[in-house]
Chain A
Amino acid sequence: MKLNNHDLLTKETSSSILNHWVLAISCLLLCLSGVGFLFKVQAIGSLFGGFPMMRDIHNWLGVVFAISLLLSLGNWLKECITFGYNDIEWCLAAGGYLGKLWKKKAPPMHKLNTGQKAFYLCLLIFGFGIILSGAGIWLMPNHQAVMVWSVIIHNICFILIGIFLPIHIYLSTLGNPGTLQIMTSGTVPVWWARKKSQQWVEEVEEGRSH
């Protein structure tokens, strides 16, 4: 099947788009309220209806985040643990993002590039780290050792997610015009997909993928 430049390819289904946004919104609200607790920001506390209320919201949003992170495994795990030689090339080319500073071009990739895969794996590891340590803080308040180590792990995971999150948000909006529609309509035009996910487009054309 030959694809025309302006044909639309379905990259994400409506269920994975919903999954993404529940994960994203809960994650951002958790980050915001978490910063409120970490630095005792009165304004953030007021936004959530006071600190005692914010604590309940933070805890239950954590449950929402945990469930959607579990469900996301079915959507993205397989793709994200499949690596090839082109992943090394992609890293050596810095994804082709450095413009004139580093002129190497990114190699043809499958549905997701190395950076996207790495982001998902980070979110999985540190996401479950932050969920488990959060559960420790929430559910074992009278166990001092659990409390102390949970606070430390919770904060370390937040720092690491906080490092990757701005990259993900920037490169999926401003840094890569056209990317955001993957998570709105779920479709991308063929000509654009060829630039970003050439291997995948070829597989679609050969009928081996969809």
Chain B
Amino acid sequence: MGKKSILIIPERCTGCRACQVACKQWNDLPARKTSFTGSFNSPTDLTSVNFNRINFTEVPSEKDPIRWLFVSQRCMHCTDAGCMKICSTPGALTRNEEGAVVTDHEKCSGCHLCIAGCPFNVPRYGKDGKLAKCTMCADRIPKGMAPACVHTCPPQALTFGDRDELIASARKMGYPVIYGQMDLGGLGTMIAFKDAPSLYGFADKPHINQAIIFWHKFLKPASWLGIGGMTALMALHYFGIGPKTEKEEPEEEKCLCQVPVPTKEEGKHETQ
């Protein structure tokens, strides 16, 4: 099966938040009380029960007093996924055939490392201490269905399909290069921004923390080299040079009498 992606077209988004509702419904996520913080954002951030949300930003504009931008925010399903690099548990984060980064609630050991690995600040942990995030509806897409959020989106600001076809359709709509087409090996969630991504609250050039890459590329292999190389050297010493076996030098005079007679060796020490 080819690689599937979600394409977000912020120009079409009306900010209705139906995607948030559909996500909650399909993933059986509980409602959580929010509070008014002076902006239209609700909830104000992704949580362990909000796998997606609309981010509302207000930016100054030359023509109008203000421009109000909406964009859907969720896991970006990176090809070069920082969370998968840093994850300490096999099977907790896997890539499915459609290219989505999928979580396994049972296997997650709750180490929180994926938070540090993610360039988009997506992973959230629930009260049970396990990772919870968007899986691109990994229980829908293998059956040929679109993710719940895409399926429900009234203005079709969210579209789903074959990755290459989505890129081609975006090009036809007048977006030469879309956000996520190349970044991090290609994102599974692409966004057709008309303006700088930073206006919408996205990093212009998303990247994995350099320290994490250094750790993954150099420190991990060095861990084998250190302990393995030294063990090999020790084996080489054992078979090549041989152990340092001490032999007991015979005492020259056996001490049979009452008065101890210093051996030659002992006598030597006294004069030192």
Residues of A whose CB lies within 8 Å of any CB of B are: 2, 4-5, 31, 35, 37-42, 45, 51-52, 54-55, 96-101, 137, 141-142, 144, 147-149, 151-152, 155-156, 158-160, 162-167, 170, 174-178, 189, 191-192, 194-196, 198, 202
CB contact between A142 and one of B109, B115, B211, B234 (< 8 Å): that residue:
B115
> Closest CB of chain B to A68's CB: distance in Å?
21
Indicate if the CB atoms of A163 and B234 lie closer than 8 Å: no
- Kindly identify, within residues 44 to 92 of chain B, every residue whose CB is under 8 Å from any CB belonging to chain A: 86-92
Is the CB of B40 closer than 8 A to any CB of chain A? no
Task: For the complex, give the distance between the alpha carbons of A41 and B89 in Å.
Answer: 8
B199 at the interface (CB under 8 A from A): no
Q: Which residues of B contact A194 (CB under 8 A)?
A: 265
**B88, B219, B245 pick with most chain A CB within 10 angstroms:** B88
Kindly list chain A residues whose C-beta atoms are within 8 Å of the C-beta of B92.
Answer: 51
Residue on A nearest B214 in the bound complex, by CB:
A152
- State the CA gap A164–B234 with chains docked (Å): 11
29 contacts between A and B (CB under 8 A): A5-B248, A45-B89, A51-B107, A52-B108, A52-B110, A55-B110, A137-B111, A141-B112, A151-B116, A151-B212, A152-B211, A152-B214, A155-B215, A155-B219, A155-B223, A156-B219, A159-B223, A159-B225, A163-B229, A165-B227, A166-B231, A167-B234, A174-B238, A174-B243, A175-B237, A176-B244, A191-B249, A196-B246, A202-B269
Contact of B30 with A by CB under 8 A = no
Q: Which of A4, A98, A163 contacts B227 (CB 8 A)?
A: A163
B95 to chain A, nearest CB (A): 14
Q: Contacts A38-B220, A162-B230, A170-B238: A177 and B113 contacting too (C-beta < 8 A)? A: no
Contacts A37-B88, A162-B223, A192-B246 hold; do A147 and B241 have CB atoms under 8 A apart? no
| Closest chain A residue to B227, Cβ basis | A162
- Chain B residues lying within 8 Å of A98, measured Cβ to Cβ, are 241
Within 8 Å CB of A156, what residues of B?
A: 219
Q: Which residue of B lies closest to A169 (CB)?
A: B234
Number of residues of chain B lying within 8 A (CB) of chain A: 51
Complex Cα distance, B86 from A194, in Å, reads: 51
Shortest distance from the beta carbon of B249 to any chain A beta carbon, whole Å:
7
* Nearest Cβ on chain A to B243's Cβ, whole angstroms: 5
Residues of A within 8 A of B222 (CB): 159
Check if A54 sits within 8 Å of B86, measured CB to CB: no
Contact check, A5 vs B251: say whether CB atoms are below 8 A apart. Answer: yes
Residues of A within 8 A of B225 (CB): 159
B266: Cβ under 8 A from any A Cβ: yes
* Set of chain A residues within 8 Å of B237, measured between Cβ atoms: 97, 170, 175
Q: Is residue B142 contacting chain A, with contact meaning CB distance below 8 A?
A: no
Judging by beta carbons under 8 Å apart, are B215 and A152 in contact?
A: yes
* CB-defined contacts of B246 to chain A, threshold 8 Å: 177-178, 192, 195-196
Docked complex Cα distance between A156 and B218 (Å): 10
Residues of A within 8 A of B87 (CB): 40
Residues of B within 8 A of A2 (CB): 260, 262, 266
Q: How far is the CB of B129 from chain A (nearest CB, A)?
A: 9
Give, as a whole number of angstroms, the nearest-CB distance from A157 to chain B: 11
Residues of B within 8 A of A99 (CB): 241-242, 244
Instruction: Please indicate the chain B residues that have their CB under 8 angstroms from the CB of A166 in the complex.
Output: 227, 230-231, 233-234
**In the complex, chain A residues whose CB is within 8 Å of the CB of B262:** 2
A-chain residues with CB within 8 Å of residue B112 when the two chains form the complex: 141-142, 147
Partner of A148, one of B212, B238, B243: B212
Q: Contact check, B113 vs A4: say whether CB atoms are below 8 A apart.
A: no
Q: Which residues of A contact B238 (CB under 8 A)?
A: 170, 174-175
How close is B271's CB to chain A, nearest CB, in angstroms? 12
User: Are B223 and A38 in touch, CB under 8 angstroms?
Assistant: yes
CB neighbours (8 Å) of A4 from chain B are 251, 255, 260
B38: chain A residues within 8 A (beta carbon)? none
Whether B244 and A151, one on each chain, are in contact in the complex, defined by CB atoms closer than 8 angstroms, is no
B2 within 8 A of A: no
How long is the Cα–Cα vector from A81 to B177 in the complex, in angstroms? 63
